[in-house]
Amino acid sequence: MSPLVAHRLQHLPISSIRKLIPLSDKAEQDGVKIYHLNMGQPDVKTPQVMIDALKAWDTNPIAYAPSGGTKEYIDALKQYYHSLGFNTIETKDILGTVAGSEAINMAMYATCDVGDEMLVFEPFYSTYKTSAKLWNVNLVAVPTMLENGFHLPPKEEIIRSITPKTKAILYSNPGNPTGTVYTKEEVKMLVTIAKEHNLYLISDEVYREYSFVDKPHESILQYLQDIPEQAILIDSLSKRYNLCGARLGALISKNADVIKGSLAFAMSRLSGGIIDMHVGAQLTKVPAGYIPALQQEYKRRRDTLYEGLKEIEGVIVAQPEGAFYIMAQLPVEDAEQFCIWLLEKFRDNNETVMLAPGYGFYADPEKGKQMVRLAYVLEVPQLKRSVELLKKALQQYR
Ligand SMILES: Cc1ncc(COP(=O)(O)O)c(C=O)c1O
């Protein structure tokens, strides 16, 4: 590390997912076929109407967009929330962001001062750690268990982690990395806790459409009247429309100060991508069948991977209810070493499989040592082959 570099730069966590990429690059250069279950990068096609809008772009020069998003983009988002029945969402409540990642950064910056605490449910989306480090927020992890599908612990247990420094509760629903979809009772409990302890409640719903339970998704937007000042939604088009590279998201809140302050944050990067926003604004024209087809496809994938993993000796999994991830406990001492071995050593017909080590999703890495996250972002036949590879690999490794 250069002696001139800031001390804090050395303490930014490196994603456990991306850390292994040089090893997979090397294996691929050597001609090995890798089944990538390591990243939440969906393989489904972006809606054609969006691709058409991209191809038809002819405004020259390519200008800055307004910092909080173009009118076209914000109007489309508003229409989307209204179509879900959240008719109270107004233009003033929506801030366009550079995808969900920026909305996470903004939400942390808006709700916590240096040294404040934010509750998260462990295991949690690893990028929360990086954002917390950036803003010097202390994440306080409330454990959830594989045995009950990573659902929330009782209210008393959550409350026990609240201190005078606690400012917010942050959760993802459906969850990354767990695939857990919180019930109405669970979301209501969080709303009650937020109300009783005067905390912000930040719900990351970038996987809203990826729910396989037979009840409607319980959005924080249903509770805007209960906690208008405290409810914050993090949203993104990345997964919903397979637009990961377009960097489109939103921060939604009825708290005018949160939106106003976050707009100042947005001004520091002047603008999001104006072409991206034009593409995203086509969401109102996406055929009605696009999302249901996506749901069916991912349910098939979920079933294939879950059923396959259950059959492997020593692997412990809970059936995920949404998003496109499974957290699995493997019969190995150190899952990261196993993931490295898969990339460096294991070959079956010159093929291997890539997984994300689970420790990156835990505040205490020791707790996630035997865990891996698998993203079912491949088609069913490839998932079947991935399970076969994992089964053979575990037999060999032991
Ligand atoms: C739970 C969760 N929130 C937010 C994001 C951010 O995604 P993006 O920045 O592409 O919107 C992701 C991406 O994987 C995620 O899994």
Lining residues, ligand 1, CB within 6 Å: 40, 99-101, 125, 172, 176, 204, 206, 236, 238, 244, 249
Mention the CATH class of domain 48-285.
alpha beta
pLDDT at residue 40, as a whole number? 84
Domain limits, the chain:
7-45+290-397, 48-285
Q: Which residues of the chain have pLDDT under 50?
A: none
Q: Can you give the pTM of this predicted structure?
A: 0.97
Q: For residues 26 and 301, what is the distance between their CA atoms, to the nearest angstrom?
A: 28
Are the C-beta atoms of 118 and 110 separated by less than 8 Å? no
- The residue among 35, 7, 32, 20 whose CA lies nearest residue 383 is 35
Contacts of 377 by beta carbon, 8 Å cutoff, 6+ apart = 36, 37, 39, 40, 41, 42, 43, 301, 324
- Read off the pLDDT of residues 68-119 as tens digits, 9 standing for 90 and up: 999 999 999 999 999 999 999 999 999 999 999 999 999 999 999 999 999 9
DSSP string spanning 95-151?
Answer: EEESHHHHHHHHHHHHH--TT-EEEEEES--THHHHHHHHHT-EEEEEE--GGGTTP
pLDDT at residue 150, as a whole number? 98
Find the length of the chain: 398
Whole-number Å distance, alpha carbon 112 to ligand 1 midpoint, is 20
Superfamily of domain 7-45+290-397: Aspartate Aminotransferase, domain 1 (3.90.1150.10)
Whole-number Å distance, alpha carbon 289 to ligand 1 midpoint, is 24
**Helix or strand holding residue 36 (H, E):** strand 33-36
Mutate which of 125, 178, 277 to test ligand 1's pocket (most atoms within 8 Å of Cβ)?
Answer: 125
Q: In 161-231, which ranges are continuous DSSP H helix?
A: 184-197
Are the C-beta atoms of 354 and 20 separated by less than 8 Å? yes
Mean pLDDT of the chain: 96
Contacts of 30 by beta carbon, 8 Å cutoff, 6+ apart = none
Are the C-beta atoms of 177 and 325 separated by less than 8 Å? yes
